[in-house]
Chains A and B, each alone.
Chain A
Amino acid sequence: LASDVMTVQQKLELQTSMYKLQEHRDMKPSVFNNMLSSFLYARRFGPYFVEPLVAGLEGPDNKPFISGQDLLGASVFTDDFVVCGTSEQELFGTCESFFKPNLEPDELFETIAQCMLAAVDRDCLAGWGGVVHILTPEK
């Protein structure tokens, strides 16, 4: 639900800003994941209709962290990929075929972009391009 996406984003921004002010450091992705999980579960009976994905670099050695959650905050931790949305089933298919571990950032960008475009081409409700965020230690 688009309004829930915006509401959840604003409330999470509040939480991360408060954390940053109190602890003088950024929230780690795994901590953020737990916080989001509790936040969504607090509305167990009357949930926000969002399916969030969390991605980030964790710790001093910048280990990649990804997780996906359902609308109640139950997390799925994987080391390959997580998908969500109306073209979830199509994305499962494309990602399972194209994903390889230990790709370079540029290769990963190409792979994920093509997976996305191929999947949303088969879905009327999603499409018209996409936005890719690549997180690397340098930039």
Chain B
Amino acid sequence: KVLNVIFTVNLTHLKMIEDSAPLFIREQALNPKPQGGFNFENWHRNERLQNEFRAKGISSNLPKVMLTGTTICGCVYKDGVVLGADTRATGGSEVADKNCEKIGYIAPNIYCGGAGTAGDTFQMKKLVSSQLDLLRLSTGTQSRVVTANTILKQQLFKHQGHISAALIVGGVDCTGPHLYNIYPHGSSNKVPFCTMGSGSLAAISVMESTYKPDMTEEEAVEMAKEAILSGIFNDLGSGSNCDITIIRCSGEVTRTRGFEKPNDTKLLRDKIRHPKELVVPSGSTKVLESSFLKYIDVQDVTAPEPMMI
């Protein structure tokens, strides 16, 4: 009888392990060497969890993904490229970040705005930025915008749209100013002006009516700013401030965070802080136990000098 019991217990234990993930993924998890690329060890467990929650009717409080609701736009003018973006990041229906930076650095002459899942856009920009860095080191030439476009396209197509990142890549290289927009499934277009994100419809209407070829810098910046503002005010997923990045043919880049702040609440807040009721009096919280430890130990260490060849 005792042997029987042990046998049964062992079998169910093995079955549980088998259900969690296939053998090759479990072995990957035990592998001490870190590997590049995506790690799928938790995928089976998560699927099982979500199915179980759905089957039992439990509304799970699993964390939500942060989306950059977004309006991003770009346009090519006579001497370069202007990129504009709003600064709101949403998680569900609430604002997760009131001032997030959506236009990211790719190369000294290439910048990229991203809409979609925040994590995906940031990581795609980081990925293409580091790949272009290595390319620049190995070729010794300035990065081209079309290179960034191709790398991003191929990466997004490889993941069949599951990496939800819609990007506008703009920059200036030896062949002139270029602007590409890239959709999450891996298609891209070379365009003189474009908008992406949930506020793209509001923004594209402004751009379609005011765009003309060979604009001056002031006209282009004004157009991008108006497009983003229309996205901010007419789309719920976009809001807060407008960021502008100007990449000129001369090589000069101007990044302005908060180019226009139509939703600045600072003045209002400063007025509100005056009532005494909002100051918490000291001693109002009952402390059950407290402990203090010194943890910072500052040591001056001289940085080692790089070796000169």
Contact = CB atoms under 8 A, between A and B. Distances in A.
Interface string A32-48: 00000110111111111
B5 to A, nearest CB: 28
Contacts of A51: 63
A49 B120 contact: no
Contacts of B45: 46
Contact of B118 (A47, A70, A107): A70
Given A46-B45, A47-B46, A106-B282, A72 B119 contact: yes
B278 interface: yes
A34 to B, nearest CB: 9
B309 interface: no
A46 B41 contact: yes
A125 B59 CA distance: 13
A111 interface: yes
Interface residues of B, number: 49
A134 to B, nearest CB: 9
Contacts of B42: 43, 46-48
Contacts of A88: 94
B260 to A, nearest CB: 20
Interface in A81-139: 84, 86, 88-89, 92, 97-98, 100, 106-107, 109-111, 113-114, 117, 125, 129, 137-139
A113 B278 CA distance: 14
B49 to A, nearest CB: 8
Given A72-B120, A78-B97, A42 B295 contact: no
Contact of A44 (B64, B100, B119, B282): B119
A70 B292 CA distance: 30
B278 A98 contact: yes
